[in-house]
A and B are shown apart, each in its own frame.
Chain A
Amino acid sequence: MNRIAQGFTLVLLGVAALTSTVPTDLYLNWVKAGFGPFLIAAGIVMVGLGVLVIVAEVRGGGDVSDEEETTPVTAEASTSEQGDGHGHDHSRAPWVAWLLLLPVSAVFVVAPPALGSYTVESTSGSTGPPPRDEGGNSKFNDALSEAEPGETVQLDIQAFVMRAWIDEEREMADREIELTGFAVPNEEGEGWYLARLQMACCAADAVVNKVLITDRPAPEADSWWTVQGTWVEPEGDLYDVSEHEFAIEGMEEVTDPPDPYE
């Protein structure tokens, strides 16, 4: 890969990072919102560096290459190369650098959507999400602990599932709760799931949270809904529950889905 190709690759990569953050919110499909500013900064740096390299090359490149002399590669080092024969010098990049165009074409051609019902169905079967170890179960820091009694509480599905699993006080019982997520058909039993993926950093570490709904017909997979209703309180030990059920009082479709992840 010669220098001008490296410059173009960098510019394209930077443009991909900038297009998915500045004019669109595409990046929210892949990484957490907190990455936005860093992606913008990285995009600017890459575009800037790429343009510098291209300009220097088009204008002559001589002055750059003069200073890019490298010491001769020893014979030994050369034999350890992977056969593409590039010495470890500065002005050429290995073939593998061409792969940097893959994320670019992924963004512009595929524009990957957020993970959805496919991931929910294929990753966790019917076991539901694992509860997170939260030390004591008295320290819930969600909307429910602040809401007035009788008020409808908006909860993340993750917060709902956590409460349903480890809140021995069962504070959620008989409270009107509002959840937002996408529909996932239940392949193995009755009803359907309202699900949301929770990610720590990027889509690769997404964890599934879902609640089972049996009192309404299943909507189309991957359509987004806001539902109001109550937790179906299970009998016996909360920790043995494999699926958390939700009784619906009202549901409406969300036409403009929010950040797909929690």
Chain B
Amino acid sequence: MSERTTHDSAPSSSLGDSLADGWDDRGDELPPADWGRRPGARRTGTVWLFALIITAMAFGHAWLSDDLTGQAFLAWATIFTAISFQAMPFLVFGVALSAALVAFVPTSVYRRFIPSKASHAVPVAGASGALLPGCECASVPIAGSLIKRGVAPAAALTFLLAAPSINPIVMIATAVAFAGQPEMVLARFTASLLASVVIGWVWVRFGRTDWLRLPSQSHDPDASKWRVFRESMLHDIMHAGGYLVVGALAAATLNVMVPREWLLTVAEAPIVSVLVLAVLAILLSICSEADAFVAVSLTDFSPTAKLAFMVIGPIVDLKLIAMQAGVFGWRFVARFAPLSLAVGLISTFLIGALIL
């Protein structure tokens, strides 16, 4: 919290003092519920709360662990933990990269590399997605920091979509999974890039800035770069991480609850099967570096349907929706997710018809 500790050492300071002091310090924050309370008390309260949480977990570990034997619950817990842990390194290092962009790279660099005219910046951003390895968990905070650095929102959003879809690791994973089917790798690259760039252009034409909850922060120019780095990292982990957990909860629940047999019955219908795999990609929220292996295992489905799974997954899924809502706000997500889905599907059908 932003209170000063002088309050701790000077418990006699009056309410008025702490109000006035807090006012100076806190700029916009103003949580009225906190006013006038001694910050030290609340800080101690937080420490006690965590002591309680840790004790509860210790007791849970000692007494409860052996009693938790429900098979379905354990499978659910495994998948939830698996998704959380799989994404954790990507999240932490993606957030570190985005914090480094905020703290150490001056704005002028972006101005130089990314054209200022939004419609030109979009393809550049799409192509640069092919260079930076990172999964979708990482690209959401990076896109947020790009916008903060003055990159046109449409270009940052194109990067947000392209980076997890066509980065080198994903392309290699796809080539490994679809060994002997290079056309699948080509189709994935083309369809994803096309979708990202088109969505960017649509945003240039129709997008409105006030849909985006622009991360408003102007760092004190005197702040040390390391401190800016540390603070943006903390901020991004807390925002993106919390929503990642929401996505993991949803994906684990669906993974355990929805029998795969249901899906196989619809695999026969040509267009329906494409839509079904697109929906499955949204629901399962698999990391884009792994989704090719899942796609290839859905052997009952047509190549175009598998392509839809791989094109839609990295640009729209539950985990991403939750994370984007955390970084950009729900007003944005309510427009961006359907747009991504529609353009992604059109691109899939087009490229699927041309290449596959």
Report A's interface with B, CB cutoff 8 A. 1-6, 8-10, 12-13, 17, 20, 27, 29-31, 35, 38-39, 41-42, 45-46, 49, 52-53, 57-62, 64-74, 76-77, 80-82, 85-115, 118-119, 122-125, 127, 129-136, 200-205, 207
Contacts and interface: CB of A to CB of B under 8 A. Distances in A.
Given A8-B46, A108-B57, A45 B92 contact: yes
A193 to B, nearest CB: 16
B95 to A, nearest CB: 9
A72 B28 contact: yes
A100 B239 contact: no
Nearest to B182: A135
Contacts of A29: 78, 81
B238 A61 contact: no
Interface residues of B, number: 110
Interface in B76-126: 77-86, 88-89, 91-93, 96
Contacts of B238: 1, 6, 9, 93-94, 97, 100
A111 B75 contact: no
13 contacts: A49-B234, A64-B2, A96-B239, A96-B243, A97-B238, A97-B242, A100-B245, A102-B249, A104-B57, A123-B259, A133-B179, A135-B180, A202-B287
Contacts of B213: 77, 80-81, 88
B205 interface: no
Contact of B29 (A13, A87, A127, A203): A87
- The winner among B28, B54, B84 for most chain A CB atoms within 10 A is B84
Contacts of A112: 74, 77-78, 80-81
Interface stretch (B11-19, B150-158, B291-299, B345-353): B291-299
Main secondary structure on B side of the interface with A: helix
B305 to A, nearest CB: 14
A207 B297 contact: yes
Nearest to A10: B237
Contact of B242 (A52, A93, A115): A93
A30 B78 contact: yes
A109 B91 CA distance: 24
A110 B242 contact: no
A121 B16 CA distance: 67
A135 B182 CA distance: 10
Given A60-B5, A118-B74, A118-B75, A35 B85 contact: yes
Contacts of B217: 70-71, 88-90
Nearest to A117: B71
B80 A106 contact: yes
A52 B81 contact: no
A204 B83 CA distance: 7
Contacts of A1: 238
